[in-house]
Structure 1
Amino acid sequence: MAYDFITILGPTASGKTVLAVSLAKAIDAEIISGDSRQVYRGMDLGTGKDLDDYVVDGYHVPYHLIDIVDPGYKYNVFEFQRDFLNAFEDIRNRDKKVILCGGTGMYIESVLKGYRLIPVPENKELRESLSSKSLDELTDILSRYKKLHNSTDVDTVKRAIRAIEIEEYYLSNDVDERPFPNYNSLIIGVDISRELRREKISRRLRQRLDEGMVDEVRRLLDSGISAEDLIYYGLEYKYLTLYVTGELSYDDMCSQLEIAIHQFAKRQMTWFRGMERRGISISWINAEWSLQHKIDVVLGLLDNHVG
């Protein structure tokens, strides 16, 4: 059976986007982003969109699910599944191949495993009961649930509470699940050593700060996005907002943010390894290989499957 699409996943700073774009040019494919924050317009440096990477030798590789909603909106995995299906069908109807590329494990797994998801309403009583708990306590509560496909990469209290809210809804409600296609995907993971990953994360953070990431957050706040909403998005937007609003010094912001990104990348890898334990086969390639060698390896895997 031929592959329906190629998936390229990996932690932040692993080089997965550059690989996906170069591969897309080689096989006449379009890219669907599997990143939970790159959907937001105007949130560019903080989410690492690197849209220049989508241009190879003057050719603009088409991409989907980037810049599709306004900041302040709470985009979710249910909407991602819907939007993925629409983009996938659009691309395939034009006889192009599809590459899903990203680092949001929950989004990617929801497509690869075809999870049946429904929108979950807000539970105010539950939220109030959890509001005084720490992130560690919330993470512990979340870990007690067994529906792993609904858990989430939590880096803020608000995200953790939402993840628990989703789990609790599924436990206490009979829901009609919506159908989702069973796709067959070649899944490529970009494996980067801890040392190189840390080095690239630190270098990229300094570069994005130099490019104006603080000004980006100021513009978002000035446009009417609340500080609470920006903090909800976590990582760069959490710590830069705390700096801009005077709650953190610049040096504290930089050091705390750097630590948080390193921890986030570690959690991403933990999720991907968990995907393997849940029956998803990932072919890992070395981040330090040359770009051409990576492409050749992926093309070889495609040929072997067809053969």
Structure 2
Amino acid sequence: MQDLNSPYNLLVILGPTASGKTTFAAHLAKRLQGEIISADSRQIYKGMDLGTGKDIEDYTIDGYTIPHHLLDIVDAGYKYNVFEYQADFFKAFEKVKNNKAWPIMCGGTGMYIESVLKKYKLINVPVDQPLRDSLQGKNLQELTSLLGKYKSLHNQTDTDTIKRAIRAIEIEEFYLQNPGIVVELPDVKPLIIGVNIDRDARRKKITDRLKKRFDEGMVDEVKQLIDSGVAPDDLIYYGLEYKFLTMHVMGELTYQQMFDKLNVAIHQFAKRQMTWFRGMERKGAHIHWVDAFDPMEERVEKVIQLMYPKTY
């Protein structure tokens, strides 16, 4: 139950992919009587389970399933965005508080996390067809370079396809042309905990986990999504697993090519996530780092002490 003796009203657990942050957040939620609000840009989609690493069993601790929010909330094929996430997060945040529980944000999508912590002034950005037309023909590297020139720091960890990069530029250009946007959002007083994992250990865990997900049927999952009516281009839009798996299913990559390219892409993605989090620190965010391999009880106790500094 949330305690007014704490100076915080939101616990944030962040870290790169394969760092074990969900299991850590679940143990904290059990100890605190909390509820988890996901901050993952792909796990919001129904039916995209293995490809997003949506390990639902991680939410169950000693037979108790932690209440969780913002998983499986939209259909595969839909292009969910950070504007919608920010609105959905604050709805979940108020719901958890009304339940007298601790809101625990958990995820690795930097833009989603910062949209809440920095209370970005977000609205539903319309399509700018002339801008899109002007960007046609540019490759991903060129688009990423253009995106980096905007003063506002956009999440480049998720812009790993041309369509996503063009949409990111479209959003940045809209805010540049409309600086007077006013958005009223609830106050958050976050305690930010980062799960740090040694690079070599992270790389091994990513590759081992990827092999396991293939064994569990990740290719079949993509085939089922396509058979259900989700367009291959829409799956490719999501990047990472769904980009390469779809290319394999459509006959553009062999199995080995798909595995090798995807394995490299996930390692690069994890590196970009850490770059994003270090960037948050440079901009003033205070992230308390814990080691992914420290005993769970020690990590949980460390967080409790940070949450209630006057008690310890």
TM-score class, shorter-chain normalisation, is over 0.9
Distance 1:276 1:183, change over 3 A: same
Contact kept in structure 1, 2:164 and 2:237, CA below 8 Å: yes
Contact kept in structure 2, 1:2 and 1:306, CA below 8 Å: no
Which residue in 2 is equivalent to 1:44? Answer: 49
Matched, 1:274 2:276: no
Q: Shift of the alpha carbon at 1:150?
A: 6.2
Matched, 1:126 2:131: yes
Which residue in 1 is equivalent to 2:153? Answer: 148
Which residue in 2 is equivalent to 1:302? Answer: 307
Candidates 132, 138, 145, aligned match of 2:143: 138
What's the TM-score once normalised by structure 2's chain length?
Answer: 0.96
Distance in 1 between residues matched to 2:254 and 2:72, nearest whole Å? 30
Which residue in 1 is equivalent to 2:217? Answer: 212
Q: Bigger shift: 89-98 or 144-153? A: 144-153
Across the two proteins, how many residue pairs are aligned to each other? 307
Q: Bigger shift: 56-65 or 165-174? A: 165-174
One-letter amino acid of the counterpart of residue 24, structure 1 = A
Which residue in 1 is equivalent to 2:99? Answer: 94
Distance in 2 between residues matched to 1:158 and 1:306, nearest whole Å? 50
Which 5+ residue runs of structure 1 have no aligned equivalent? Answer: none
Distance 1:152 1:178, change over 3 A: farther
Aligned 1:1-307 pairs, distance under 5 A: 2-149=7-154, 153-304=158-309
SS in 2 for 1:148: coil
Q: Bigger shift: 60-69 or 283-292? A: 283-292
Distance in 2 between residues matched to 1:237 and 1:96, nearest whole Å? 35
SS in 1 for 2:143: helix
Distance in 1 between residues matched to 2:301 and 2:242, nearest whole Å? 37
Contact kept in structure 1, 2:17 and 2:108, CA below 8 Å: yes
Q: Bigger shift: 150-159 or 126-135? A: 150-159
Deviations 1:197-222 (A, max 9, x none): 10000000000000000000000000
- Root-mean-square deviation (CA, aligned residues, Å) is 1.3
Identity of aligned residues (%): 59
Which 5+ residue runs of structure 2 have no aligned equivalent? Answer: 1-5
Deviations 1:115-167 (A, max 9, x none): 11111111111112112111111111111101115666311111111111111
Distance 1:82 1:152, change over 3 A: same
